[in-house]
Amino acid sequence: MKTINSKEQNQEIILANHPSGVPTTDTFKINDIDMPAIKEGEVLLKSIYVSVDPGMRGFMNKGDDDAAGNKFELNKPITSRTVAQVIDSNNDDFMIGDIVHGRFAWQKYQSVSVDDMEKVDPTLAPISTAVSMLGVPGLAAYFGILNIGQAKKGETVVVSGAAGSVGSIAAQIARIKGCRVIGIAGSAQKIAYLENDLGIDKAINYKQVNDMEAAIKAACPNGVDIFFDNVGGEMFDAVFANINRHARIAICGQIADYNEANPPQGPRPMHALIKQSARMEGFVVYDFKDEFDDAKQQIAEWYNNGDIVYKENLIEGFENIPDAFIGLFSGENIGKQMIKVGEVAENQK
């Protein structure tokens, strides 16, 4: 245990109460806990960056039976995508000092099976991006635009939820590929971010528009070749009404609040799919697991070249994780919300 600063108190943040509506400080509780013993074959992790996402709210409901097994249990630590450092190892493949990421508990220190983590290459980009730009959100953007969307120069691409962690990268990859890119978002600040900072051709504030179908038509005089959909519902219908022949519609795994037992009703898309010989395809990033390394390399290269802008909204301090999460529902923050909860020990690498 030579690598743990023995003066630091280990802590956890648990789900203290099921929230109703927007979570409050009562939803969570911070406890002092013992420093964990490292188990056989596991590694001891120190949390460095914790990611919070609005989608986690759905896992906090009482009795919510989530298919992906993401439900949080009362009085157990919350989990979320986290970047951590190995500070002790009982596994030959992981060395002290290695940076890893995975869905870890909100704990300063924890012993974790190596099956539940992946190594982070710190030479690619800042290590915090391992759970954002180089993690599931960035990979979803990459494979959605390139593998599902088959984006080609000169095509028109519409991205819904364009200021989000997936949408903002999807829109930029489409722009890099020479497409005309239209982003949909929900605030003037986000519109300015998309048009000015990310170089998106046109951004539409759906809250300021009465007729989305007409707004898309006006923004896409040549029709829509690729639709990267993060939202669904009536926004889907408005964009879908403008698709071109041979359009590709990437249905991204980030659509919130779809209730599997009772899918919402909407216009059947079959007739338009036939008329336009168009394709609608769902995907999750793990469909493309074999291409992860290449994709991360490419995204990192674009990021380091300045072709992709990726913003983080960084808060410091383990105890501030609950406030950072709660803030997702009130603020108009742009950029991926991250909490820095520890320092990387450079001398261990």
Residues contributing to the site for its own copies (CB under 8 A): 67, 229, 232-233, 236, 246, 251-253, 255, 258, 260, 263-284, 287
Minimum CB separation of residue 57 from its own copies in Å reads 18
Minimum CB separation of residue 16 from its own copies in Å reads 31
CA separation (Å) from 113 to 13, 34, 37, 124? 20, 19, 13, 25
DSSP code string of 67-115:
TTS-PPPBTSB-EEEEEEEEEEESSTTS-TT-EEEEEEESBSEEEEEGG
Minimum CB separation of residue 76 from its own copies in Å reads 26
CA separation (Å) from 334 to 56, 189, 198? 18, 8, 12
Q: Rg of the chain's alpha carbons, rounded to an integer?
A: 21
Cβ contact 18:29 at 8 Å: no
Minimum CB separation of residue 285 from its own copies in Å reads 10
For its own copies, the closer of residues 78 and 140 by Cβ is 140
For its own copies, the closer of residues 176 and 272 by Cβ is 272
For its own copies, the closer of residues 67 and 92 by Cβ is 67
* Calpha distance 255→315 (Å, rounded): 26
For its own copies, the closer of residues 152 and 275 by Cβ is 275
For its own copies, the closer of residues 233 and 335 by Cβ is 233
* Calpha distance 87→84 (Å, rounded): 9
Minimum CB separation of residue 118 from its own copies in Å reads 21
For its own copies, the closer of residues 275 and 349 by Cβ is 275
* Calpha distance 302→322 (Å, rounded): 33
Minimum CB separation of residue 18 from its own copies in Å reads 24
For its own copies, the closer of residues 53 and 229 by Cβ is 229
* Calpha distance 3→348 (Å, rounded): 9
Minimum CB separation of residue 287 from its own copies in Å reads 5
* Calpha distance 93→115 (Å, rounded): 11
For its own copies, the closer of residues 274 and 330 by Cβ is 274
For its own copies, the closer of residues 22 and 256 by Cβ is 256
- In this structure, the number of other CB atoms found within 10 A of the CB of residue 303 comes to 21
**Range 195-201 contact pairs with CB under 8 angstroms and sequence separation of 24 or more:** 197/309, 197/311, 198/168, 198/171, 198/172, 198/309, 199/172, 199/175, 200/162, 200/171, 200/172, 200/175, 201/175
Minimum CB separation of residue 105 from its own copies in Å reads 26
Nearest 5°: the CA angle 28, 34, 39 is: 110
3 state DSSP class of 141 = helix
The type of residue at 139 is: L
Minimum CB separation of residue 177 from its own copies in Å reads 21
